[in-house]
Copies of this chain bind each other. A is one copy, B any other.
Amino acid sequence: MQHENIIFPARKSLVYPLISACEIDCLMFFNMNNIRYLSGFTGSDGVLIVSNNRDVLLVDGRYITQAKLEAADTEIIEYKDKIRGIVEVVKELGLKYIGFEAEAIVVQMYNLLMRELTDKVFVPVGDDLKLLRAYKDEAEIALMKKAAEISSAAVLALKSEIKSGCSERDLALQLETIARKSGAEQLAFETIFASGENSALPHAKPSDRKIKRGDFIVVDFGIKYKGYCSDETCTFGFQELTAEQNNVYQLVKEAHDQAIDMVREGVTAADVDRCARKVFGEKYEKYFSHGTGHGVGLEVHEAPRLSPFSQDTLKAQMVVTVEPGLYFPGRWGIRIEDTVLVKKNSCEKLTKMDKGLIIIE
């Protein structure tokens, strides 16, 4: 991608104002997705210290060669012991007020650092960092579109493979294989492929249950492409549905469509959630047992959250899911989900499957 040389300095430039605003000397990152976002390093372990003077990426011996290749903009230092490595860099850089991600450091690491750096002040940074990755730049949007295309195409291709007697597990594997052959590097999350009574479990795992007439089949699928996630849910009917199933599907679709119609710059996330709940009304809302959506990016669940409790406001360049569902324990469930890019006056669907009711014959 032609932006690669300018991306990481531009992203790091989002951090310097936070350092000033929080009156700290540096921000110490442990969240590997934040580290990837800011430096390009894709390993599974490391620490990134961003300060006004120097940025340092600390990695262990496994990752030294890879870090030098991927994070060419950033100074790389190797550590044998993580705590000691951090302590040395903090002392060398003369940092005193150390901001850290309150959501990424566990209490044990925090206590160890405090014990070794008794003359430093640790400042938890939470809300200020929450939206660090929420606004997607052009390079990210391009990757997220590609991720969504690959996974929607895989679901479309899989649809014609669904036959009576196929097991959820086999179909999930076929779906994943199709996506991988089309360029998915890995799954964004464990595939949900839930039929019949299993579709009433919002987070069911693929089982040996075989598809049969009258089933709803909930396929919640996402892949990663160059680190970026897709997330989409289709609910198919199999061969024949009851009038009740048809009606409830249309109700979920109405909630999905109305919520998506609301999504634009300036709308609160809680209002989008409320919109879906209002469509369900008193009779059905109690069967909608999760929030309406969430941000997507390097993580499949990230800021903002679309739930009754959310304090977030949607802004242009955010990418979020809209995924209302209704679940009737022991019977069946329905979820309909798209991932959308928030724009000034509307939103753009990144996921491509049509959400009208599809009955597989």
A1 within 8 A of B: no
Please give, as numbers and ranges, the residues of chain B lying within 8 Å of A103 by CB-CB distance: 106-108
From B42, B80, B105, B205, contact of A185 by CB (8 A): B205
Contact B107 A105 (CB under 8 A): yes
Please tell me if the beta carbons of B203 and A43 are within 8 angstroms of each other in the complex.
yes
Q: Does A9 lie at the interface of the complex (its beta carbon under 8 Å from any beta carbon of B)?
A: no
A63 part of interface (Cβ distance < 8 Å): yes
Is A250 among interface residues, defined by CB-CB distance under 8 A?
Answer: no
| CB closest chain-B residue, reference A203 | B62
Q: Decide if A202 is an interface residue (CB 8 Å cutoff).
A: yes
- The chain B residue sitting closest to A177, CB to CB, is B177
Establish whether residues A107 and B110, one from each chain, have CB atoms under 8 Å apart when the complex forms.
Answer: yes
Chain A, residues 95-112, CB within 8 Å of chain B (1/0): the string is 000001011111110110
Partner of A66, one of B63, B81, B126, B203: B203
Contact of A102 among B61, B80, B100, B107 (CB under 8 A): B107
Given contacts A106-B104, A106-B105, A173-B181, contact A42 B205 (CB under 8 A): yes
Is A17 on the interface with B (CB-CB < 8 A)?
no
Cα–Cα distance between A191 and B294 once the two chains are bound (Å): 28
A315 to B116: give the CA distance in the assembly, Å. 31
A62/B290 contact (C-beta < 8 A), A42-B205, A44-B203, A203-B43 known? yes
When C-beta atoms are compared, the residue in chain B nearest to A102 turns out to be B108
Assess whether A11 is interfacial by the CB under 8 Å rule.
no
Asked whether A201 is an interface residue with its Cβ less than 8 Å from the other chain, the reply is yes
Which chain B residue lies CB-closest to A65?
B329
Q: Mark A35-52, 1 if CB is under 8 A from B, else 0.
A: 000000011100000000
A88 within 8 A of B: no
**Shortest beta-carbon contacts, A-B, top 5:** A61-B289, A102-B108, A62-B202, A102-B107, A103-B108
Give A contacts to B, CB under 8 Å. 42-44, 60-66, 80-81, 100, 102-108, 110-111, 124, 126, 173, 176-177, 180-181, 185-187, 190, 200-205, 289-290, 309, 327, 329
